[in-house]
Amino acid sequence: MAIHFYTACTLDGFIATTDHSLDWLFAQDFDTSGPMAYPAFIEKIGALDELWLQFAPVTLGDGQPLFPLAADFELLEVARNRDFACAHYRVRKGWLAN
């Protein structure tokens, strides 16, 4: 079974505020047809456990963490989508890896 994870996070590694708000995310400039947007993710997913992250130019200082456990990733691809730095990783070990 392959697991694929697609999300955005802040530069300090949070995916939501302490009260689970995503308002910070929807205020950002992101092209849904641009590099590493969700439609491209769905089109490219394969048989490997993968992680696609969009890093927003925001810090929250506190909130819900991106990763709850330790893991090791291999960087496969990087791109810029307007204000976001986008990265595509393969999970090597830990967290999602089998």
Q: What is the pLDDT of residues 54-96, one digit of tens each?
A: 898 899 999 988 877 777 889 999 999 999 899 988 888 765 5
- pLDDT attached to residue 38: 64
Q: What is the pLDDT of residues 27-40, one digit of tens each?
A: 888 887 877 776 66
Closest CA to 15 of 47, 94, 23, 84: 23
- Pairing, β 50-56 against β 4-10: parallel
What integer is the mean pLDDT of 38-56? 70
List, in sequence order, every residue forming a beta bridge with 75; answer none if it has no partner: 89
Q: What is the pTM of this model?
A: 0.60
List, in sequence order, every residue forming a beta bridge with 25; answer none if it has no partner: none
**Residue 14 or 76, more confident:** 76
Segments making up each domain of the chain, as ranges: 4-94
15/5 Cα distance (integer angstroms): 13
Q: Classify domain 4-94 at the CATH topology level.
A: Dihydrofolate Reductase, subunit A (3.40.430)
7 within 8 A of 54, measured Cβ to Cβ? yes
